[in-house]
Structure 1
Amino acid sequence: MTEELYYTSAYISEFVAKVVDCRKCEINPSKAQASEMQASKEQASKEQASKEQASKEQASKEQASKEQASKEQASKEQASKAQASGNAETSKITEASNSQDMYEIILDKTAFFPEQGGQGSDGGVLEFEDGAKRAQVLHVSISEQECDGKMNEGDNLDGNAGNKPDKHFAMIRHLVDREIPVGTTVHGVIDFSHRFSNMQQHTGEHIFSGLVCSRFGYDNVGFHLSDSEVTMDYNGPITQEEIKEIEAKANEVIWQNLEVLCEFPEESRLENIPYRSKKELTGDVRIVTIPGVDICACCAPHVLRTGEIGLLKVVGLQNYKGGVRVYILCGKRAMDYLNKEHEIVSELSGMFTTASENVITAVKKLSNANSELKQELSEATSALIEAEVKEIDKTLENVVLIKKNLDSNAMRKLVNLLTADHSGFCGVFAGSTAEGYRFIVGTSNKDKDCREIANMLRTQFGAKGGGSAQMVQGSLKTDDIEAVVDAIK
């Protein structure tokens, strides 16, 4: 850009008018204009320098961000490796016993959670120092013993909802699949997949129970956590719709990724904490807090943040002892359950050639059609029975018939029709040699007792069943049903 472009068009016109020979003159700015031009150049230079500085700072920030991401990834990988190894813990065998190929040991310290408070125990392995041997941990239990002042580290874990008693201490016992001598050093490796699943279920239960308590004022009076189900018992009624609302709120809490706090507060502070507990506790009490949701005394392992639960799904509700029992699944268990449900719905959708949302309508339609067919079949069967009874010689005293396919109602109707025309024992056997036979035997004669027939069938043919003098029913298996019929006749 030439210097002439800095001048206004008016200035240029005035300057050109004053020159004698425009072909020989040079256009030069005044001092003020030159100063103005210099300032403009300096401003442009500063702006350029500022842009370069901003660019450098941005590059520095991006580099720092990459380094931080790299550190976080390395931390995650390290945590993943630690998790995969089950957080191995070195311990020594202090006691050992065995009975009928079952081996029980006690460690000087342990990271294995014992079965207690409605929750199953951890599993895993004990690895020997030489790395050549290992023992499977089949079960872990806890038992209280009188305190002798020699408690081992880890031995004071107790199952009383987070309480460590003053006069007793808890002994953790490990059931293993092989004998391990006292004094052996081992590495305890927890099955973390199983542990983490239990953590998801248990923290999920705290969230659900906390919400039930805050909304209805009900207590969780029963809790069971196994490998297949999680149940909570509440001492008050809750409707299906209310359960759905609690479930939705519980998942909101999970997705908020709240911190789960575990602590042993001082006794003076503990007195002012409104925590849930099934009984009065003293001494050191472990409190598990989910801010704004639940405060509960608990000794079990929990997730660090609610987001680790992932998902909570209610899978069952039933009335129980004046209250309700709720069945839930959390985390991977919930996903597995929903995947299975999805497979079922998808298969039904294919069978009925309809969209998933229309499957229920299609099933109801099929069920109604089936009921109508059953009614028609029942009416046809009844007509056939009546026709068959009319053809039987009424001079016969005892009548016994063998049928392949008759339901209980049809069998009973047939016996009633027969006893109206015959004075002896009238019976019907329905079934086959392969599947066995169901039978009904009746009489209208007050001088006869059908229980005699039942006793005879039980004694001679191993039948099961019973009844009254007028009618007995039961079942039996036989390769010679004709022999059974002849015995009655």
Structure 2
Amino acid sequence: MEAKETIRLYDQNAYETEFEAEVVACEEITGKDKKSYEVILDQTLFFPEEGGQSPDMGTINDMEVRDVQIRDQVIRHTMDEPIAVGTKVKGKVDWQHRFYNMQQHTGEHIFSGIVHNRFGYDNVGFHLSDSVVTMDFNGVIPAEELNDIEDEVNLAIAKNLPVEVTYPSKEELKDLDYRSKIEIEGQVRIVTIPGYDVCACCAPHVKHTGEIGMLKVMSMQNYKGGVRISILCGFRALEAFRQKAEIITELMTQFSTNQEALVDNVVKLKNNSQNYKTQLAEAKQELMDYKIAALPTDIDNAVLFEQDLDTPIMRAVVNKLVEKYKRVSALFVGDDESGYNFIIGSQNADCRLIAAALKNKLEARGGGSNVMVQGSVKADKAAIQRVLDDILEV
């Protein structure tokens, strides 16, 4: 499909949401589930997935735009239905989604500019989705510096600075100190936030920093010799903290305490839970010891079916059975509905033969050595017992 470079209306005015255009190409896309179509317009307000940012959402002739991509400077809109070439169409961009993305991206520029100015680090990875913004810096930022950087970003937001978009000539670019993650061919678009950042960028931005509302650092982790920092800005930050406030409020209700005591209560609950788990495991082990002691001694094989035993207890049980019986000791834990986990051990028999029989007849999974195997089988107790009876000749 050949088409001229798409006119990018969002570069002219990122605040426009409706536009008219003409379809210059439409091609069917072969997919796994259903047909879709790649529609190319002579001009568009839809920002494509580019520079680490998710694409705009919206409609063309009241039909949903599923995706927006750019290749060879041509913007392609993915639609469920075809639109004939030459058709005059009306497009509408989802303003809330666009504006929320603008808040995130301009906030990221301020943050990255401050990090670059303070530490000399570059933003070498950027991802802006509908739920998170991540930035990868090629150097380590001390955790104690994060709050200070966050404060400086929010001060820049409060100043309501103009966000300037320019298209310098090649000669002007030579003397301009600006950030850029990649080599750019053709006209370079520069986004400047006075006193904080100068960066090459293709995405829509707010006109003034005050429109960002706020920026909040959500997390930081070590990543490829540097750090990955997650942020949220504006209304997405507000929604994230509404959710956190709801969780905290519910926890306060459940624990009948205030916010300051929540962590202590959770730690106490965790410790109690671990103590109960330990006590329960000890009780289960003691019960299994009684069961093993009660088993007859005039047999060569021992097969037990139990419910709700952890793997360490299963191993301990089988080890004790192997000491007591000279041929095969098997423990199956589970139920007929969901299946069983098993461990089989022996001092004299080859346990791999039993595992193979379970696999061949019941499609069991697992493996091990000649002295012990373990795995799982989706079958009922009666079917398992029949296989064991055949191979053990009980």
The TM-score with structure 2 as length reference comes to 0.89
Aligned residue for 1:115, secondary structure, equals: coil
Describe how 1:214-363 pairs up with structure 2 within 5 A. Answer: 214-363=117-266
Aligned residue for 1:275, secondary structure, equals: coil
- Corresponding residue for residue 405 of structure 1: 308
Describe how 1:413-432 pairs up with structure 2 within 5 A. Answer: 413-432=316-335
Q: What are the Cα deviations for residues 29-68 of structure 1, in whole angstroms up to 9, with x where unaligned? A: xxxxxxxxxxxxxxxxxxxxxxxxxxxxxxxxxxxxxxxx
Counterpart of 2:280 in structure 1: which amino acid? L
Q: What are the Cα deviations for residues 381-414 of structure 1, in whole angstroms up to 9, with x where unaligned? A: 2222222222222332221211112111111111
Q: Closer, same or farther in 2 for the Cα pair 1:346/1:442, shift >3 Å?
A: same
Counterpart of 2:335 in structure 1: which amino acid? S
Describe how 1:80-479 pairs up with structure 2 within 5 A. Answer: 87-99=17-29, 101-127=35-61, 134-144=62-72, 170-445=73-348, 448-478=349-379
Aligned residue for 1:285, secondary structure, equals: coil
Aligned residue for 2:359, secondary structure, equals: helix
Q: What are the Cα deviations for residues 330-349 of structure 1, in whole angstroms up to 9, with x where unaligned? A: 22211111111111111111
**CA–CA distance in structure 1, aligned partners of residues 345 and 194 of structure 2:** 70
**CA–CA distance in structure 2, aligned partners of residues 181 and 483 of structure 1:** 62
Q: Closer, same or farther in 2 for the Cα pair 1:398/1:256, shift >3 Å?
A: farther
Instruction: State whether residues 17 and 94 of structure 2, in contact with CA within 8 Å, keep that contact through their aligned partners in structure 1.
Output: no
Identify unmatched segments of 5+ residues in structure 2: 1-12
Q: What are the Cα deviations for residues 234-290 of structure 1, in whole angstroms up to 9, with x where unaligned? A: 222234433333333322222222221111122222112221112333542111111
* Percent identity of equivalent pairs: 47
**CA–CA distance in structure 2, aligned partners of residues 310 and 349 of structure 1:** 29
**CA–CA distance in structure 1, aligned partners of residues 14 and 196 of structure 2:** 28
Q: What are the Cα deviations for residues 341-360 of structure 1, in whole angstroms up to 9, with x where unaligned? A: 11111111101100012111
Q: What are the Cα deviations for residues 204-252 of structure 1, in whole angstroms up to 9, with x where unaligned? A: 2212222222222221111111222222112222344333333333222
**CA–CA distance in structure 1, aligned partners of residues 374 and 291 of structure 2:** 22
The alignment of Structure 1 onto Structure 2 pairs a total of residues equal to 373
**CA–CA distance in structure 1, aligned partners of residues 24 and 123 of structure 2:** 38
**CA–CA distance in structure 2, aligned partners of residues 412 and 241 of structure 1:** 47
- Corresponding residue for residue 381 of structure 2: 481
**CA–CA distance in structure 2, aligned partners of residues 99 and 282 of structure 1:** 29
Q: Closer, same or farther in 2 for the Cα pair 1:427/1:178, shift >3 Å?
A: same
Q: Closer, same or farther in 2 for the Cα pair 1:96/1:486, shift >3 Å?
A: closer
Instruction: State whether residues 395 and 422 of structure 1, in contact with CA within 8 Å, keep that contact through their aligned partners in structure 2.
Output: no
Counterpart of 2:384 in structure 1: which amino acid? V
Describe how 1:59-78 pairs up with structure 2 within 5 A. Answer: none
Structure 1 moving runs of 4+ over 6 Å: none
Instruction: State whether residues 267 and 283 of structure 1, in contact with CA within 8 Å, keep that contact through their aligned partners in structure 2.
Output: no
Q: Closer, same or farther in 2 for the Cα pair 1:327/1:455, shift >3 Å?
A: farther
**CA–CA distance in structure 2, aligned partners of residues 239 and 440 of structure 1:** 49
Aligned residue for 1:314, secondary structure, equals: strand
Counterpart of 2:300 in structure 1: which amino acid? E
Shift of 1:475: 1.7
Shift of 1:318: 2.6
- The structure where helix makes up a greater share of residues is 1
Instruction: State whether residues 96 and 103 of structure 1, in contact with CA within 8 Å, keep that contact through their aligned partners in structure 2.
Output: yes
Q: Closer, same or farther in 2 for the Cα pair 1:456/1:320, shift >3 Å?
A: farther
**CA–CA distance in structure 2, aligned partners of residues 386 and 242 of structure 1:** 57
**CA–CA distance in structure 1, aligned partners of residues 233 and 374 of structure 2:** 48
**CA–CA distance in structure 1, aligned partners of residues 121 and 328 of structure 2:** 60
Counterpart of 2:160 in structure 1: which amino acid? N
**CA–CA distance in structure 1, aligned partners of residues 365 and 131 of structure 2:** 36
**CA–CA distance in structure 1, aligned partners of residues 346 and 91 of structure 2:** 72
Shifted more, 284-293 versus 380-389: the winner is 380-389
Instruction: State whether residues 83 and 192 of structure 1, in contact with CA within 8 Å, keep that contact through their aligned partners in structure 2.
Output: no
RMSD across aligned positions (CA): 2.1
Shift of 1:177: 2.6
**CA–CA distance in structure 2, aligned partners of residues 419 and 93 of structure 1:** 77
The TM-score with structure 1 as length reference comes to 0.72
Q: Closer, same or farther in 2 for the Cα pair 1:256/1:379, shift >3 Å?
A: same
Shift of 1:442: 1.7
Shifted more, 282-291 versus 244-253: the winner is 244-253
